[in-house]
Amino acid sequence: MTVLASHPVFATQVSDEIPASVADRLGRPLRDLRLSVIDACNFRCPYCMPADRIADDHGLDAASRLDFDEMETLVRAFVRLGVQKLRLTGGEPLLRKRLPDLVARLMTIPGLDDVALTTNGSLLAGQALALRRAGLQRLTVSLDALDQRIYQQLSGGRGNVGQVLAGIAAAEAAGFVSIKLNCVVQRGINDDQVLPLVKHFRNSGHVLRFIEYMDVGTCNDWSAARVVPSVELRDRIHARWPLRALAPNYRGEVATRYGFDDGAGEIGFVSSMSEPFCGDCHRARVSADGKLYTCLFAGEGADVRAVLADGVDAVVEHVGRLWSNRGDRYSELRGRRPAGKRVEMFLVGG
Ligand code: SAM
Ligand code: SF4
Ligand code: SF4
């Protein structure tokens, strides 16, 4: 039993195997943290950071971003609150200078079981080995198309699919296995890329995941007509390469898993629009300037940076209270309430 079980904000009973966790108002523990290491990006994907709304030089000045000492304090506190999985994200995290040094520091935190990174892959070829050597365990690479013309359009005219594929190859060579490949599918934009992507990554050992286009933020001109429900994609893929459902790897897993009947590996679907999973949402997000968002669709973040200088105990107290007041379930209530202000995806990293 850990000492924290007696702390007033810790509502979830613990054993030595499962660390204590604070529970929110709906009884959901805090298990995952997504930490944005930078709010800038070298892409302008129209569904996230459209070029006509977000200036080329968008980004906080260096002093407004958490430094590595602050990030380490923050992550130590979140681990004390029950977090086991950390994902580094952005903006584009590989734009953050000395990122492998940060990874190496975070890897020393006891109780952190899993450290992953989400990237657009454009700079991965040059950094994969250093990240692996620093101890990074898992990688997710976003890849919305194989066709260069479509890929370029979906990266706001900035991306090169060959560079991303080279990044994936470098990651394999560096020792990353079972890399996740995220594809946000939009009807009439890249849904014709689904089968080519499946064909390309079958038998690769990597896991392609199709993500429903979400109404995140307020600048992407989201429209429901562009959402392709996962079940439609699954049926399309199944007609070509028969699939069978697989059990989740763990409770609260965001993607629904399917295996190819012929043993060519697995794929996943993230169905936040058609099958909301708020009931199992154990995830907190912290922006590069140290604001906590308890939902991807939150309007405001709560400042955590101000307490970081007071040390881990103070952050545990502060974040524990914020989490225990959480009642978010935006996706379950979608359409039943007027949509208000929503944080932009590039600030909280997906
Ligand atoms: N820049 C990195 C990248 O693109 O992988 C990390 C940050 S990005 C915000 C994280 C993920 O959010 C990406 O996989 C991206 O495709 C996804 N994303 C962005 N906007 C989205 C939207 N409107 N709906 C669904 N997923 C979205
Ligand atoms: Fe940048 Fe990622 Fe957003 Fe694309 S999805 S604009 S790569 S942060
Ligand atoms: Fe979690 Fe909010 Fe998404 Fe629901 S809408 S799954 S609470 S992030």
**Ligand 1 pocket residue status of 164, Cβ below 6 Å:** no
Tokens for 31?
A: 């298990």
Q: Is residue 235 part of a domain?
A: yes
pLDDT at 51 over 80: yes
| Number of structural domains in the chain | 1
Q: Is residue 3 part of a domain?
A: no
**Ligand 1 pocket residue status of 230, Cβ below 6 Å:** no
159 CA distance to ligand 2 middle (Å): 11
Q: Is residue 7 part of a domain?
A: no
pLDDT digit string (tens) for 224-278?
999 999 999 999 999 999 999 999 998 888 999 999 999 999 999 999 999 998 9
**Ligand 2 pocket residue status of 347, Cβ below 6 Å:** no
Q: What is the mean pLDDT of residues 130-143?
A: 98
pLDDT at 292 over 50: yes
Q: How far is CA 108 from CA 104, 120, 136, 332, in A?
A: 7, 26, 11, 37
Q: Is residue 11 part of a domain?
A: no
Q: Is residue 56 part of a domain?
A: yes
**Ligand 2 pocket residue status of 217, Cβ below 6 Å:** no
Q: Chain-wide mean pLDDT for the chain?
A: 93
pLDDT digit string (tens) for 81-95?
999 999 999 999 999
pLDDT score for 19: 57
Residue 143 structural domain: 17-348
What are the φ/ψ torsions at residue 257 (nearest 5 degrees)? -100, 145
Q: Is residue 4 part of a domain?
A: no
CATH code at 247? 3.20.20.70
Q: Is residue 63 part of a domain?
A: yes
Q: What is the mean pLDDT of residues 143-169?
A: 98
pTM of this structure: 0.94
Q: Is residue 237 part of a domain?
A: yes
Q: What is the mean pLDDT of residues 62-74?
A: 96
Ligand lying nearest the CA atom of residue 24: 3
Residue nearest to atom 2 of ligand 3 (CA): 295
- Mutating to test ligand 3, I would choose from 31, 215, 281, 342 the residue with most ligand atoms within 8 A of its C-beta, which is 281
